[in-house]
Chains A and B, each alone.
Chain A
Amino acid sequence: MEHNYPPTMEEVKREVDLHLEKNNDMAQIFDVYKGILAVQLSYMDKIKVQVNITEEEISDYFRKDKYLLSDQNLKINVQLFKEILSEVCKAIKEASPEAPDSLLKLSEAEEFKEENIEGFLEKVALFSKNQLEDYVAKEEIDKAVGLDSEVISFAIFMSLSPFYSLYMKEVRGITDFTLWRQSYCPVCGQIAVIARHRSKDRARVMECWLCHAQWVYPRLECPYCENKDHKKLRFFYVPGDKARQVHVCEECNKYLKTIDSKVMEKDTLLDVEVIATTYLDVLAEREGYRSPEEVDALN
């Protein structure tokens, strides 16, 4: 499957500028995103990951609906992780000066000290967003560093993302995920919250927000409850923009934001779209649907 992750900064800037022409309110949010992405891209060449698994073994995982990192070990270079975390926090603060000052000291927290960091990462590496936030609150890391648990968990995920993305790229060199048919990612297990309809054949391609793996899921089936009754699967859009859709399931009431590449006449960057289409999340909630994130991955 064609997959162009990571994008270049020029591609991102081009896409972001198109969105800002329509809605300049998001300018600072996109600045934060671009700052984080620039840090992630600058570390891509320094990170080395190893995938010690054969195509046959991967197929075996997928046939059992098990994502790879559920028991494969991804060795994270803790020093690099710490550097990325520090740079990500700096980038956020730079783009959003109103962000708490304590953000700049997050990487100095007890959990990220040399003796603790490896154990901490092993523990949280497969957590979903909610699980990580709960863990941060339970261990009172938020109180210790003076930051909200959502901010801490976001910074950690953004710093882990380059490691997972590179691992995913290595795996993609071995297999193309065609055996995978779940709502959660075949590599890291995070639940997909956005998809595209590929222009070439109209297939629904889900994308993981953490490692950016892409896999195909049947169009007329709810990824979250496997409902196949097309009378209970609908979509809505804002009139005038049919390329950005929200596919809903009347059975489980979950929704999936979807970009129709044929209507849009290009393959857009889903990371940018997921930010630009927040109004669709608001509308989905107004219409009585729930975010897919309310179901945790099988961690």
Chain B
Amino acid sequence: MRISRRNFLKLSGLAALTGTLASKLGCAPDDPPPEDPDEKPEPTVDAEDFRVEYADTVVNVCSFCGVGCGVLCYVEDGKIVSVDGDPDHPVSEGTLCSKGGALINKYYEYDEQGNAVVSPQRLTKVLYRAPKATDWEEKDWDWAIEEIARRVKDTRDEHFKETNDAGETVNRCEALAFIGSAKCNNEENYLYRKFVAATGIVNNDHCARL
């Protein structure tokens, strides 16, 4: 590999030694010698001709258990190529258990030839199955969020009790249950708990009971 003199950059620290400074100090790599017809020239490649591959890093949360460890997914051409623990995640600080470390295997399955293909079971869209229906329908997120909100509101209004059988004020709804998530951070869980209390929902639990 060769850095052509025309590519010399002005760099700092020790890197300067490989840039414009190299020619000023007389230690720049020599230009290739003229081709000798009797000798096979050594192949050289200019650095600027190298092909490069781009990759993205996407932050995620491990989906296996209630700890909710931070995960960095490396993505090339729209596909996950490897995963790492997220060192900046306050819970896991870069660590993953053996299941989390193998998270990439949830994304792929293997065809008959042994090639990794993105699992067709992976959900990428909202699916809805109406009561008593047998088939799933594709829906968009706006529809789903509005539908969930409407049904929560209706159920809460229909079953809200201001007093119990003894006539004491209770202001509660026993027909709904909320389960929190270890994937949420402290502030999100605070808001979640506030919402549950404000709507009078008393059945409130959490999955992070490890």
Min Cβ gap B77→A in Å is: 13
- A134 beta carbon closer than 8 Å to chain B: no
Q: Footprint of B on A, CB under 8 Å?
A: 22-23, 25-26, 28-29, 31-33, 92, 95-100, 128-129, 148, 150-151, 154, 157, 190, 193-194, 198, 200-204, 209-210, 216, 218-220, 230-231, 233-239, 262, 271, 274-275, 278-279, 281-283, 285-287, 291, 293
Q: Which residues of B contact A150 (CB under 8 A)?
A: 10, 16, 20-21, 24
Please report the C-alpha to C-alpha distance between residue A97 and residue B93 in the assembled complex, in whole angstroms.
Answer: 50
Interface residue tally on B, bucketed by range = 35 or more
Asked whether A210 lies within 8 Å of B13 as measured between CB atoms, the reply is yes
Q: A29-B27, A220-B57 are in contact. List 8 more A-B contacts (CB 8 A).
A: A23-B1, A28-B27, A32-B25, A129-B13, A190-B13, A198-B87, A234-B57, A291-B10
- B52 beta carbon closer than 8 Å to chain A: yes
- 6 A–B contacts, CB within 8 A, in A order: A29-B22, A154-B21, A218-B88, A281-B9, A281-B15, A291-B11
Q: Which residues of A contact B84 (CB under 8 A)?
A: 202, 262
Produce 1/0 per residue, B79-101, CB < 8 A to A.
00000111110000111000000
| With A236-B53, A238-B51, A282-B48: A26-B29 Cβ-Cβ less than 8 Å | yes
Asked whether B52 lies within 8 Å of A287 as measured between CB atoms, the reply is yes
Min Cβ gap A242→B in Å is: 8
Q: Which residues of B contact A32 (CB under 8 A)?
A: 17, 25, 27
| With A129-B16, A154-B16, A275-B17: A230-B11 Cβ-Cβ less than 8 Å | no
Min Cβ gap B102→A in Å is: 16
Min Cβ gap A273→B in Å is: 10
Q: Which residues of B contact A285 (CB under 8 A)?
A: 7, 9
Min Cβ gap A38→B in Å is: 14
Min Cβ gap A65→B in Å is: 19
Out of A31, A151, A216, A278, name the residue touching B15 (CB < 8 Å): A278
Q: Which residues of B contact A235 (CB under 8 A)?
A: 54-55, 57
* A-B residue pair count with CB separations less than 8 angstroms: 164
Asked whether A278 lies within 8 Å of B19 as measured between CB atoms, the reply is yes
- B58 beta carbon closer than 8 Å to chain A: yes
Please report the C-alpha to C-alpha distance between residue A151 and residue B16 in the assembled complex, in whole angstroms.
Answer: 10
Please report the C-alpha to C-alpha distance between residue A111 and residue B72 in the assembled complex, in whole angstroms.
Answer: 52
Out of B18, B29, B58, B94, name the residue touching A201 (CB < 8 Å): B94
Q: Which residues of A contact B67 (CB under 8 A)?
A: none
Min Cβ gap B92→A in Å is: 9
Q: Footprint of A on B, CB under 8 Å?
A: 1-3, 7, 9-22, 24-29, 47-48, 50-59, 72, 84-88, 93-95
Asked whether B87 lies within 8 Å of A202 as measured between CB atoms, the reply is yes
Interface pairs A-B: 8 shortest CB-CB = A98-B26, A209-B13, A201-B94, A279-B47, A203-B87, A278-B18, A25-B29, A96-B27
Min Cβ gap A261→B in Å is: 12
Find the A residue at minimum CB distance from B45: A279
Asked whether A274 lies within 8 Å of B48 as measured between CB atoms, the reply is no
Please report the C-alpha to C-alpha distance between residue A201 and residue B54 in the assembled complex, in whole angstroms.
Answer: 23
| With A239-B53, A278-B19: A25-B14 Cβ-Cβ less than 8 Å | no
Q: By CB atoms of chain B within 10 A, which of A28, A33, A285 has the most? A: A28
Asked whether A274 lies within 8 Å of B47 as measured between CB atoms, the reply is no
Q: By CB atoms of chain A within 10 A, which of B1, B17, B48 has the most? A: B17
Q: By CB atoms of chain A within 10 A, which of B15, B47, B51 has the most? A: B15
Asked whether B14 lies within 8 Å of A209 as measured between CB atoms, the reply is yes
Asked whether B27 lies within 8 Å of A98 as measured between CB atoms, the reply is yes
Q: Which residues of A contact B2 (CB under 8 A)?
A: 25
Please report the C-alpha to C-alpha distance between residue A220 and residue B53 in the assembled complex, in whole angstroms.
Answer: 19
Asked whether B87 lies within 8 Å of A201 as measured between CB atoms, the reply is yes
Q: Which residues of A contact B26 (CB under 8 A)?
A: 96-100
Please report the C-alpha to C-alpha distance between residue A146 and residue B148 in the assembled complex, in whole angstroms.
Answer: 78
Please report the C-alpha to C-alpha distance between residue A292 and residue B206 in the assembled complex, in whole angstroms.
Answer: 46
Asked whether B11 lies within 8 Å of A193 as measured between CB atoms, the reply is yes
Find the B residue at minimum CB distance from A151: B24
Q: Which residues of A contact B48 (CB under 8 A)?
A: 282-283, 286
| With A150-B21, A235-B57: A95-B27 Cβ-Cβ less than 8 Å | yes
Q: Which residues of B contact A271 (CB under 8 A)?
A: 14
Q: Which residues of B contact A220 (CB under 8 A)?
A: 57, 59, 72, 88
Please report the C-alpha to C-alpha distance between residue A262 and residue B101 in the assembled complex, in whole angstroms.
Answer: 14
Min Cβ gap B210→A in Å is: 21
Find the B residue at minimum CB distance from A147: B24
